[in-house]
Structure 1
Amino acid sequence: MDFSRDRRLDAILETFQNDFSLSQLIVTVLSEPRYGSHPTVRDLLANTDGIVHAFSLHKSSHSKLLDWASDAVKEECAGEIRELVKVESGWHFSALHAKSEQIENFRIEEMALKIEADAPRLWALLDVLLSARMTKKAQVKSGGDVVMSGGVPEEWESEDSEYWAQVDDLEGIIDGITGNQVSRAAKLDFRRQALITLRKVVIVSILKKSTNQKANSLSGMLGLFLHSTHAPEKVIETMAQIGLSISVDAIHDAIHSLSAQSGRALQCLGQSLLAAYAYDNFDINLKSTVPTAQKSVDTLKHLTSGLLFPLQHGVTLDDLKCSYELWKKSRINPYAESCTAKTWKDLLAIHQESHHPSNLSRRDRFNSWKFLQDLCHHGPAYFAQFKSQIRDPDVIDQIPVVKTPVVAASAMDVNNSTVAGNIQAIEKLMAQGYDLLS
């Protein structure tokens, strides 16, 4: 025992028994700006963890300390929520002015990253609360050092592994991130972390919507998703009450807004004459009636869907003025010019072969590259180590890769399984592009 230190400490404490207390001294030096750079203040701030832990050891102050910490955390998290619901944060969704870009560009991953960056303390708090069984307890050693101890009991870990092993919805995402080269235990951890992140996003979204009804980007997306999956209105309204969806009326407003935008986009693209059209059949089983033995009703409806997408790679209207030339050489044209018919074999001579050090033809080199690519990416795990050694195939006449926007047309009540149905589908699809239906 250091008696000299104890005597000095007793002497210091005696000086605070008069008019000036130790608590007044600490509050004063920490509050006064002129003491901000004083060594004593810097020492107090550097040892905050140890001081707070020392307070917690006294039962009489433990409750007050928890109340203070709780109030501080609540105010800090509430402040972060207030920042998240501002218009400039980008989380507002208006059903009356819904835009297709909001749906196309919506990503849960990006939302999670932005929340973590803008509300780090709230994000960390939710992480602890959603993983409470794995939370380590903080302990303070003598000297004020904070260390972590504790862990997950083996029976809990086994129970968690069994649960997460049954969650297969994230298998594709995890394999895409890890390249399917991680252990089963690592995949279980990825599943756990991915679903915890998803739940944190959902919780924060509910908090935001409760604070500001306009900050409802996630609930707006979920509402449209529920509508697209034909969820009952009672389910949607229940989800809306919880805060996980917008109301049925708001969903209808969003659909009307999106439909109007889609119609304008169709007209703009179709009237440019630089659009490609595609259509296909689909069937819907409309179980609106109950068939009986006396009256059988065919509930299967044959419809046609359509798409428009712009021609890419610098195609112009002049490039499309080739119908006259095609008709001149068409075999069904009785007055066609005589010309030599071409076959697929003529395509093989478009690019002349040149000597290669491997003595392989261009076709053989591509087949070799494809075989190695499949072997290293989809074959036995041993060959995965050679991925980096595979070089890209030789470029001959490369077509640039571009992102082609696609505009969906309205579904058509047409059965295109017949010639007449195909003609009718083309007419109606072209009419949507040229706004001939209005």
Structure 2
Amino acid sequence: MYAYITELQPTEAILALQRQLCSPPTLNVLILTFLNTPQTSSAMYQIAHNIALRTYACELSRLLLPSAGFQFNVAHAKPSHFSEFSSMKMARTFEELCQTVWKLFGALLNIVAIQKEAALANGQGDYLTKLTYRNQADRPSLPMPDVSVADAMSDIDTDMPDEDWGIYIDEDILEDEQGEAELGERNSAPIGHVWSAATGAPWQKAQGKALRRQLERTYVRRLALFNICINNSNMRCNTLQAVVGMFAHSTNTSERTIEFLSHAGLSIAPTSINRMVDRLSSEARLLFKDELSGLVSAIGLDNLEVRFDGEQPTPENPGQLVSMTSAAFFPLHSGTTKEDLRVCEELWARSPFNPHRSLPPVVFSHDRLMSMVLKMSFL
């Protein structure tokens, strides 16, 4: 073996031995022999574990660098950070920088779909074939044992067709989910000792909309797993957590729910959300002033009344009536003057909502509106 490794000019015998050792069947036999030998079995598993762990650590460490773009400071939040956020771009970065971990998460999220192929490969003593997904199929296919390593690698290097992620889940898919749940309640027998995640529902190969739904969920959950990993290693890597926290705040999610999401690694803390909202409000006020300072703007006012009733109103404390006025600013085109806005005076004079209307109301139509716009030189 030392001559095989260090010989500068190998002989024909060494070249023949090299070709024989590099063939997939021979490599599989060698690995199987080491694994089945008590003296080398534990060492082989330890070597495989160390290689895998170091590969995962090396790939994930690339995401912790500031240059990766996953670090977010809530004290310097800007609206552009949310408007320019793209989960697809984030996923492509994960897939490019962490190809091994990306495929690992895909396999872990679809164990039911690959467990038979994994058992078959182990039973055949095949340790060179990757268990991965084909396009438009949720099950991998094992290449023939006599193919070369290069052909096998190039033939099965494609992962799940996650380009289909983000598909709009319409009512038909929701009906399919309900139908699958009802089917699972009726069928309680296992098929090949393989059970799905649904209670009592035997696993079946996903097809059509079910396959697309499975791919979409796999893609999104891989994003969540990556972000949980890097956030747990570096608290500054919280881009997705900040987006989830802002979404939760905008939908009036309870503070306890946000705290749960924060502990699970899917959101930032409520205090951080409040600081981020204060920062964004300051940015919005400055942007609002800058936009309106050099433009002629139309202002729409609306009066409204809100009554805040107590939990148990009494004659002494029936509730509170608050009158408010909301205003909407509409920045006009560059070059617009105040004289161009007299069309608004004309519309208000004919509006049915004007109690002091002096002109007959206007029957609005697209043609009439365009005629008024051209007549008043609004554009």
User: Normalised by the size of structure 1, how large is the TM-score?
Assistant: 0.53
Aligned to 2:121, what secondary structure does the other structure show? strand
- In structure 1, give the amino acid aligned to 2:47: W
The answer to whether the 8 A contact 1:275-1:308 is kept is: yes
Output one character per residue of 1:341-376: Cα deviation in whole Å (capped at 9) or x when no partner.
Answer: x9989959x99xxxxxxxxxxxxxxxxxxxxxxxxx
The answer to whether the 8 A contact 1:50-1:145 is kept is: no
Matched, 1:88 2:67: yes
Q: Distance in 2 between matches of 1:255 and 1:290?
A: 29
Q: Distance in 2 between matches of 1:256 and 1:216?
A: 18
The answer to whether the 8 A contact 1:269-1:275 is kept is: no
Q: Distance in 2 between matches of 1:294 and 1:331?
A: 43
In the other structure, the counterpart of 1:99 is 78
In the other structure, the counterpart of 2:31 is 55
Map 1:11-410 → 2, pairs under 5 A? 22=1, 24=2, 28-29=5-6, 43=19, 47=23, 51-52=27-28, 54-57=30-33, 58-60=35-37, 61-135=40-114, 136-137=117-118, 139=121, 146=129, 173-174=168-169, 185-277=207-299, 289-292=310-313, 297-298=318-319, 307-308=328-329, 310-311=331-332, 315-318=333-336, 321-323=339-341, 347=367
Q: Distance in 2 between matches of 1:230 and 1:324?
A: 41
Judged with a 3 Å threshold, the aligned counterparts in structure 2 of structure 1 residues 186 and 34 are, in CA distance, closer, same or farther, namely: farther
Stretches of structure 2 lacking an aligned partner (at least 5 in a row) = 133-137, 140-164, 174-205, 351-361, 372-379
Q: Distance in 2 between matches of 1:323 and 1:272?
A: 17
Judged with a 3 Å threshold, the aligned counterparts in structure 2 of structure 1 residues 344 and 120 are, in CA distance, closer, same or farther, namely: same
The answer to whether the 8 A contact 1:277-1:307 is kept is: yes
Output one character per residue of 1:274-328: Cα deviation in whole Å (capped at 9) or x when no partner.
Answer: 44555668898868x42156666447877665554544xxx32256543579989
Q: Distance in 2 between matches of 1:255 and 1:34?
A: 70
Q: Distance in 2 between matches of 1:119 and 1:143?
A: 25
- In structure 2, give the amino acid aligned to 1:265: L
Q: Distance in 2 between matches of 1:233 and 1:92?
A: 24
Q: Distance in 1 between matches of 2:62 and 2:272?
A: 25
- In structure 2, give the amino acid aligned to 1:139: A
Output one character per residue of 1:103-146: Cα deviation in whole Å (capped at 9) or x when no partner.
Answer: 11223233222211221111100000110111132638699985
**TM-fit CA distance, 1:229:** 2.2
In the other structure, the counterpart of 2:142 is none
**TM-fit CA distance, 1:192:** 0.8
**TM-fit CA distance, 1:197:** 1.0
Judged with a 3 Å threshold, the aligned counterparts in structure 2 of structure 1 residues 25 and 72 are, in CA distance, closer, same or farther, namely: farther
Judged with a 3 Å threshold, the aligned counterparts in structure 2 of structure 1 residues 116 and 295 are, in CA distance, closer, same or farther, namely: farther
- In structure 2, give the amino acid aligned to 1:291: Q
**TM-fit CA distance, 1:203:** 0.8
**TM-fit CA distance, 1:220:** 0.8
Which protein is bigger by CA-based radius of gyration? 1
Output one character per residue of 1:248-293: Cα deviation in whole Å (capped at 9) or x when no partner.
Answer: 2211111111111100110011112244555668898868x42156
**TM-fit CA distance, 1:41:** 9.5
How many pairs are equivalent? 287
- In structure 2, give the amino acid aligned to 1:63: S
- Segments of 4+ moved more than 3 angstroms: 32-35, 38-50, 140-149, 274-287, 292-311, 318-321, 323-328, 342-348
Q: Distance in 1 between matches of 2:98 and 2:221?
A: 15
The answer to whether the 8 A contact 1:95-1:253 is kept is: yes
Q: Distance in 1 between matches of 2:21 and 2:307?
A: 70
Aligned to 1:205, what secondary structure does the other structure show? helix
Judged with a 3 Å threshold, the aligned counterparts in structure 2 of structure 1 residues 69 and 250 are, in CA distance, closer, same or farther, namely: same
Q: Distance in 2 between matches of 1:344 and 1:227?
A: 40
Q: Distance in 2 between matches of 1:40 and 1:290?
A: 89
Stretches of structure 1 lacking an aligned partner (at least 5 in a row) = 1-21, 153-169, 179-183, 333-341, 352-438
**TM-fit CA distance, 1:25:** 5.2
**TM-fit CA distance, 1:34:** 9.4
- In structure 1, give the amino acid aligned to 2:83: E
Q: Distance in 2 between matches of 1:290 and 1:259?
A: 31
Q: Distance in 2 between matches of 1:295 and 1:326?
A: 45
Q: Distance in 1 between matches of 2:221 and 2:300?
A: 39
In the other structure, the counterpart of 1:359 is none
Q: Distance in 2 between matches of 1:77 and 1:230?
A: 38
